[in-house]
Each structure stands twice: as structure tokens, then as C-alpha cells.
Structure 1
Amino acid sequence: MEKIVRVIAPLAAALLMTGCSLLKFSIDTGETPLPPEELNMRMMTRGFYYDMADRVARAADSIASASPDAPVQMRAIRWKIEATRAGVTAAMQRIPEVALLDTWLLCRRMDGAFGRLPDSVLFGPFTPFARETAGELDRRAGALARSLLTPERFALMERFVDERPAAESADARIRSDNTTLAWVEYLRANGIEVQYAVGTIAEVTADMGDRFGSQSEQLISSIGWSKDLLEIQFRQDSIRDRLAAQLDSLESDFRRMVGVMEGLPELTDGVMAGFNERVAELIGTMNAGIDNAFSDLDRQRMEVQRYVSAEREALIGQAQQAVDAAVQGALDRVPGLVGRLLFYVVLFALVMLGLPFVLGFWLGRWRERARRRRETSPGGDR
């Protein structure tokens, strides 16, 4: 009952005061929205990530389809898996400026690694195409930073990217590291104090949904690409070895069968039966291996989809609880605000109506006393 009264009383007071055009009030949750520049930076950085992921995936698919070499195909698939994974980690960060910095740094490191490593470690004769793609992405990331930042801030970020050491490795593995602390310390060393805002509840909720959706999409794509990688490895390693062993065994049996048929024609039927069994065993082994591989991939995909759905529902529930708590907190402050407002209205009415009445009453008594003094004074009228 008390909760109902606390909700109805502010609504009734608001309805009673709607006729007064001079009386307006609003409820502030105490949150500061992100500046338009940071919102634009977040949107443009994430848009650049989607273009980067599409460009890398198309380049890697072109290399894998054009190369007959299985190691080159596997390196191309690993390239798009690692590049998109590192890209979504860098671009989907909460702080727009750090997301832009890490995305640019990722493109710079990828371009540096492709320029440093030999063709034999990368993609063989198709390496120049990959180098061209990485160099173009680095230039586009720098141009994006120049268009979004002030000239002074861009100069600092460009110097930070140039001075940031790259991870030296003997392969083309692509990784992304979070540079939030390093960037803040770098700005402080240059006399700049930074303070990043979180944003309103609606902005935080939209940001969480965007980040979770992008990471889920990248995870699903990585699962499909990992399946292609496993298929290449499966064809190259296990099936080839087992098939070679079976063919060697069949060749030995066939030679033995030819020798037996030449010497003892009456044993032909028995040898042919053994040959048929070996052929059936070979076919069964190949079918079982392929079925097991694809069934394992299907189970992993279903588990990942269930995990993603559960995490999405939990995230939506947490966001809904945060919104409900903020709205409930605002409604809890309404009765106190209305009470203070009514107190000031009553005080204003008392001052505006009571003060003239008291002043008139006091003036009337003063005039009455003056009149009586005149009447009672010597020489006055009686």
C-alpha cells in the first residue's frame, strides 16, 4: 500500500500542476552522455573493422583458392582467423580513442610483419597480394585517425604508433594487445590529462549489444574457417597416411594373388574373397573417418551456439536490471522533490497573502492608536 501511495502521489501532483505553464521539473539520473565526437569515432572505427575483416577474408580466400599447395592454403585461413579475431578485440573496446589506436596499431604491425618475413614463410608466390592488402589497410587506418582527431592529438597518436615496438616472431601470427594504460601514460608524459566518460545507460546498453554481436559473429566465422582448416589437415595427414598404408597392403595382396593364380588356379576364389574384404575395409575406414570428423565439428558448433545464446540472454538480463534500478532510483527521489516543491509553494502563498494582511492589520491598529491619542490630548476634539 505504501508503494502504491508513493507512486500515485507524484503522479497526482504532476497532473494538478500541469495547468501552470511556469512550473516545470525534470529528473536527472546523474549520467553524462558521450560527446558526439567520441560517438562518431566509435562508429567509424567499428565500420573500419568490418571493412578490414571483409578485405582480409576476400584476400585470404583468393590465395587459398588459387594455390595448390596445402601449407599455403592453411596459412591463408589462419591469416583471416587471426586478423579478424585481433581486429574485433581492438575495435570493440569501450573507449573509442583507444579502440581507434589499437586498430591502427594492429594494421601497422600486420603490414610490418608481411614486409619483414620471406615469401616462403607467408604465402609463396601470392605474398605480394597479401602485402598490398596489409599496406592499404595501414594507410586507411592512418587516414581515418587523421580525419577523426585534432591535429595535435593525431600527431601524438602517430608518434605513439611509430614508436610502439612490434612483436618479433618467425611466423606471421597476428595478435592485438590493449594499450589503454600505455596510451594514458604517454598522454600524461606529454602534459595531457585524460578522462573518458562511460555514457548514459542507453549508450552503454547499445555498446554492449554491438560488441557482443560482433564478437559472436566473428566466433561463428572462425568456427567455419577452422572447419576448412581441419578438412585440409585431415586430407593432408591422417587420410593420406591410412590410405597409403591400405594401398600398400592391397598391392602386396594383389601381387600375392597373381602369384597364387599363376601357380594354383583353384585358389582364385579364396584370394578374391580376401581382396574384396580388404577393399571393403578400406572404404569403411575412409567413411568412418570422414563421418567422425564432421560429427565432431557439428557438435562443437551446437555447443558454441548454445553458449552464445546463454551469454546473450544473461547480458540482456543484466542490462534490463540496470535500467530498472535506475528508473526505480529516479522514482524514489520524486516524492522528496514533490514534498520540497509543495513546501516552497505553501511558503510562497503564506508570504504573498499573509504578509499584506499582517501589514494592513498593523497599520490599522497604529492609525487607531493615533486617532485615540489625538482625541484624548489637551486641545483635541472630544
Structure 2
Amino acid sequence: MLLRRCCLALMILLISALSGCSLLEVKIDSQTIPLTQQELNMRIMTREYSQQFFAQVEQAADVLQARYDAGDQLNQSHILLWKINAEEGMQAATYQVSPIASLIDSWVFVAQMNEFFHSGQGKALFIDSDGIKGAPGNDEAKQVSAHLAREIDALAKGLLKPSAYQSTKDFVEQFVATYPFSDLSMIRTPAYRAWLEANQIAQEEAVTTLGTMPEAIGDVSDRLSLMSKQTPKIMTWKAQLLALNSSASIEQVNQALDSLKVTADAMNDFIINNPEYMNHLAQEMAIHLQPLVDDIDIKTQARLAQLSEERQALEKMVARERQEVALIISHEREALAQNIDQISQQVVTVAMDKLMQLIKSTILYFVLFIVVIFFAPLGLGYMLGRRSQVRKQKA
């Protein structure tokens, strides 16, 4: 009876130890580093600001475009160049992997545009509503650039700590003074690397993670959504710019074709109403009108050839834009696939490590269980036998 109770107590103790063993709990961790709350706020707010930037630049450009004559090739081209280069530069600055890099590059780009229209080469580029060219702060380009500069300054002030905000603002002002826009091409100078050097931060320490899987997928989704919205508009503006500066004139071609039609109708009417002079007229036309017809044919062919060249150039531009979009999408998919593959390998590695630990601990506890089941009764029986033998000897 005593032996049975001892075995039962040992089994209860063993089961309690196994049930409380933490090694039996397998936790799979992808080991990804999520973005901080500040980084997430920077990414979301900066990209929301970029949408505001696009809308306000387009609205101001449309007002300026209506102020000039439709045939004003120079000023209409300037407005189209502003819309194209401003929005492409802002896209490149805002949609980066690093949220802090997006904020700093966007801040610098907007400040460069504001400086270009107020004190730089673009201060006398457009006329205001009163028809005065270069008036300080009156045309729409100056107004919208100043407003956007104030907005992104307020955005940075809300996202950064006071000390970091002031130092970064000083850096932006100095960088804009060093690298101003020289013309409407608005060539963007990335400022993030210079900001790292100014703050004595090593580049390898500044590399940020893509975040968790939902964060990485959300980033790719934002980029694809941006391309679907902005690419058709930018391609349309480029086509308008190309047509506006084309060397071929559609009106001249149409005038030549109309003149040719009138001449042909008059000749046909004359032949029908004067059959007796038909042979004489044909001879005179062969002699006197043939050079004119040849000249019209040469000019028409030249105009059509120019139109064909412009059409081919437009097709090449569209094909190039499509290829660039396809390359961007392919690159994003590649990066996402590599990230998924890396995470899956990490998951498998962690799972295998935990499984090996579980197997080892199970074998150890199984051996202990065997020892308790088979050797504990023998030991207890031996001890009880010795005790009973000693009692017998004493008796």
C-alpha cells in the first residue's frame, strides 16, 4: 500500500512538471522590426501633404494658363514645365522607404521652389491678375509656393521634437541657399545624406527596416496608387508640351488641303460646263499648272513627314514612360518578394530550433519517467526489505 502511494505521488509530480514546462510552448516570431509610431506618422502625414501639393500646384497652374493666350507658346510651355517637374520632383522626394528621408527631401524641395519664385530665377516668370509681370508675391505661382512652404514647415514642427525641428530648419535653409533651382527643370538635389553628415549620423546606422509585412505591403500599395493617379496626368502634360513646341503646323496643312479642294472643284465645274474647251484646257493645265501642283505636292509631303516624325516621337515617349512604370513596378515586386522570402526563412529557422528543443526536453523527461517507473519501486522495496531484516535481527 505504501509503495503504491509513493508511485502515485511521483507520477503526479512528473505530470505537473511536464504541464508547467515552458519548452512545450512553441512561439513563432518573424523577427521583423516594425516602424516606430513617429516613423509611421511621418510616412502618413508626408504622403498626405504630397496630395495637397499636387492639387494646389495644378489649380494655380490652371489659373495662370487661362490668363495667357492659348497660342502663347513660351508662357504656356513654362506653365506645363512647372506642373510636370514640380510633381515629378515631389513624388521622388516623398515616396521613399525611409520616412525621415521623405520628410527632409520634401521640405527641401518645397523650400527650393518657394525660393525660385520669390527671389530666384523665376520671380519674373509669370504675370499677376493685373497683368504685371514679376510683381512681388502677387501671381499664383508665388502665392501657392509660399503657402506650401508654410504648410510643410508646420508639418515638420508637429512631427519633430523642438530641438530637432530647429536644427533641421536651419539645415534646410542653408541647403536651399547652397543648391537653389536654376530654371523650371527643378532638378532635385537629395538632402538626406547631407542631413546625416550634418548630424554626424553614420549611413549604416540610418538604414531603416521595411517594417512588418503589413507596413511593407501598405508602402507598395501607396506607390502603385500614386503611379495610377499621376502618370496619366503627367503623360498628358508632356504630350501637350510636345504638341505646343512642334515644328509642324496643323493649320497650315489644313489650309493647303482646303485650297487644293477649291481648285479641284473649280476645275471640275469648268470642264463640265465647257466641254468644247476641254482638250485645250487640259493642254494649258499640263503646261502652266503642273509646277504649282508639284509645289503643293512637295509641301504637303513635307508637312505630312513632319507630322509623322512628331507622332513617332510621341509614341516613343509614351513607350518610354510605360517602360519606366513597368520597371518601377517590377522593382517593387522584387523587393517585396525578397522580404517575404527572408521572413519565411526566419520563420522556418525559429520553428526548427524550437522543435529541436522540444524533442530534447521530451526525451529527457521520458527517460526520467522510465527511471521513476522502473527503478523507484525497486529502491523502495530494497529499503523496506533492509528495514524489516534489521527488525527481525533485533527481535
**TM-score of the pair, normalised by structure 2:** 0.71
- Equivalence map 1:41-60=2 (5 Å): 41-60=42-61
CA distance in 2, matches of 1:299, 1:119: 31
The residue that corresponds to 1:337 in the other structure is: 354
Out of 130, 139, 158, the residue aligned to residue 141 of structure 2 is 130
The change in CA–CA distance for 1:153 and 1:58 in structure 2 (over 3 A counts) is: same
Distance, in Å, in 2 between the alignment partners of 1:162 and 1:61 is: 29
Of 358, 363, 372, which residue of structure 1 is paired with 2:389?
A: 372
Query: Structure 1 stretches of 5 or more lacking a match?
Result: 1-18, 247-265
Note if contact 2:86-2:186 (Cα within 8 Å) is conserved in structure 1: yes
Amino acid aligned to 2:114 = D
Q: Is the 8 Å Cα contact of residues 116 and 122 (structure 2) preserved in structure 1?
A: no
1:96-142 residue CA offsets vs partner (Å, 9 max, x unmatched): 01211111111111111110146785124466111001001101111
- The answer on whether the counterparts of 2:89 and 2:187 sit within 8 Å (CA) in structure 1 is yes
Displacement, 1:364? 3.9
Q: What CA deviation, in whole Å up to 9, does each residue of 1:199-238 have, x standing for no partner?
A: 234433442453365357645543322221121111xx56
Between the aligned partners of 1:275 and 1:195, the Cα distance in structure 2 is: 72
**Aligned with residue 149 of structure 1, among 160, 178, 181:** 160
Q: Take 2:82 and 2:306, find their aligned partners in 1: how far apart are those partners?
A: 27
SS at match of 1:33: coil
- In structure 2, what residue type is equivalent to 1:82? N
Q: Does 1:70 align with 2:81?
A: no
Sequence identity percentage: 22
Structure-2 change in CA distance of 1:84 and 1:333 (3 Å): same
For CA contacts below 8 A with separation 6 or more, give which structure has more relative contact order.
2
- Select between 105-114 and 217-226 the one with higher mean Cα deviation: 217-226
Amino acid in the other structure paired with 2:239? K
Matches within 5 A, 1:126-205: 128-166=139-177, 167-168=179-180, 170-188=182-200, 196-205=208-217
User: Is this contact kept in 1: 2:181–2:187, CA < 8 A?
Assistant: no
Does the 8 Å contact 1:115/1:131 carry over to 2?
yes
Partner residue in 2 for 1:253: none
TM-score by length of structure 1 reads: 0.73
Q: Which structure 2 residues correspond to residues 313-332 of structure 1 after superposition, within 5 A?
A: 313=330, 315-317=332-334, 319-332=336-349
CA distance in 1, matches of 2:348, 2:49: 41
> Counterpart of 2:10?
none
With 107-116 and 163-172 compared, the bigger mean Cα shift is at 163-172
| 2: CA distance, partners of 1:349 / 1:118 | 83
Q: Secondary structure at the match of 1:178?
A: coil
Say if 1:78 and 1:152 are closer, same or farther in 2 by CA, change over 3 A. same
Cα offset for 1:278? 3.3
Q: How many residues align?
A: 333
For 1:364 and 1:334, locate their aligned partners in 2 and report how far apart those are by CA, in whole Å: 45
Counterpart CA distance in 2 for 1:34 and 1:100 is: 15
- Taking the aligned partners of 1:162 and 1:87, their CA distance within structure 2 comes to 18
Distance 2:335 2:173 in 1: 40
The 1-side partners of 2:234 and 2:84 are apart by: 6
Distance 1:373 1:79 in 2: 109
Query: 1-side partners of 2:48 and 2:197: how far apart?
Result: 28
1:302-317 equivalences in 2 (<5 Å): 302-309=319-326, 312-313=329-330, 315-317=332-334
Q: Distance in 1 between matches of 2:325 and 2:383?
A: 86
Within the alignment, does 1:210 sit opposite 2:211 as a pair? no
SS of match in other structure, 1:164: helix
